[in-house]
Structure 1
């Protein structure tokens, strides 16, 4: 399939993290977790998937183009791409987005990134077990946020697939199901931003 403006370039064998969310607005917390995930998971790139709208939320976010502009202003890193891929792909749910990306980028090793609060609710997402079966997952946890995630249905069902901290660097190369916790101590500004915007990560 041909490439055009707005479609990030990636070749087979690359490890690419996917951070989805409304980014309404993008803030220092997003930047912090992105940089940490790049380092700790051995990723070649990390793509922000700025979603057109969260199907579980009653009230829509700010206009997509406005959120994209803010995100690109906030997140400037040579290995990070801020994208509207869900709009381009015509998908709204994470499972559908992953399937479409894997079809369009054959051989690319995607890693899905989510907050610990999202792991706690993952069993409520549309086709959530398909997500777990498709890609490894990096769970971004602040100190004190892990307990509810560890006790969640998804964590219990897939306890056998949890990988250790020492395996995080190679997570993209592990066949799913595979997931790991990344403990991310927050700076003051990042922590307060995340508390104020609990929807930093997309839920489905």
Structure 2
């Protein structure tokens, strides 16, 4: 896939949902569509990772297979399936964001993640720099909310958290700025789907 091409003066807000998508499932689609609606995003780009540095390689399907699984579940034209990290030759979110912000200076990016990721976000490379450079929306996931909202990262950036009712204006805020959305939790996970496929 080629890198998305936009005019130099394009003004857009794009949500970025990174992950292994091993495989992609309805939960990924759900939070993408909620983000489009609640955040007023123009598009959501799925960044299908060549290999998450924090996840084992064992059991990881080939990139092409994971991209194919994503294309099967996505019907919304505003959700774009990408292999941008492969094209940009980046493995870490911090590096990916820097590269995207350089390439698309007129696009406002919003990083989308689940509460489980916020709970361990301090383990990510340059985690403070990520928060300082990109707007972030964190979606509730069953059983993770408490750990997420009491995490090292949530406490470090507590003064920059917006109330839920201001989710639609997050895109206009200068980072660091983030919001936690306690939406309807979806318990489905890629791990559960892989286990079901083995049975």
On whether the aligned pair clears a TM of 0.5, the verdict is yes
2:41 paired residue number? 43
**What is the aligned-residue RMSD (CA, Å)?**
1.8
Deviation sequence 1:75-96 (CA, Å, 0-9, x none): 1211110000000000000000
1:115 paired residue number? 114
User: Would you say the 8 A contact 1:143–1:184 is kept in 2?
Assistant: no
1:69 paired residue number? 68
3-state SS, counterpart of residue 192 of structure 1:
coil
CA distance in 1, matches of 2:93, 2:168: 24
* Deviation for aligned residue 1:195: 7.1
* Deviation for aligned residue 1:8: 2.1
Structure 2, unaligned runs of 5 or more = 195-199
Change (3 A) 1:125 1:66: same
Q: Does 1:146 align with 2:145?
A: yes
Deviation sequence 1:13-37 (CA, Å, 0-9, x none): 2110000000000111111111111
* Deviation for aligned residue 1:144: 4.5
CA distance in 2, matches of 1:181, 1:152: 13
3-state SS, counterpart of residue 174 of structure 2:
coil
Q: How does 1:89-168 map to 2 (within 5 A)?
A: 89-142=88-141, 144-168=143-167
Q: TM-score, normalised by structure 1?
A: 0.88
CA distance in 2, matches of 1:158, 1:63: 36
3-state SS, counterpart of residue 56 of structure 2:
coil
Q: Which segment is superposed worse, 41-50 or 51-60?
A: 51-60
CA distance in 2, matches of 1:66, 1:193: 17
Q: Does 1:192 align with 2:185?
A: no
2:29 paired residue number? 31
Q: Which segment is superposed worse, 99-108 or 53-62?
A: 53-62
1:201 paired residue number? none
Q: TM-score, normalised by structure 2?
A: 0.90
Change (3 A) 1:150 1:197: farther
User: Would you say the 8 A contact 2:20–2:51 is kept in 1?
Assistant: yes
CA distance in 2, matches of 1:185, 1:195: 20
Q: Does 1:58 align with 2:71?
A: no
2:15 paired residue number? 17
Q: Which segment is superposed worse, 51-60 or 62-71?
A: 51-60
Deviation sequence 1:125-164 (CA, Å, 0-9, x none): 1010110011110001135431111110110011000001
* Deviation for aligned residue 1:173: 1.2
Structure scoring higher RCO (CA < 8 A, sep ≥ 6) equals 1
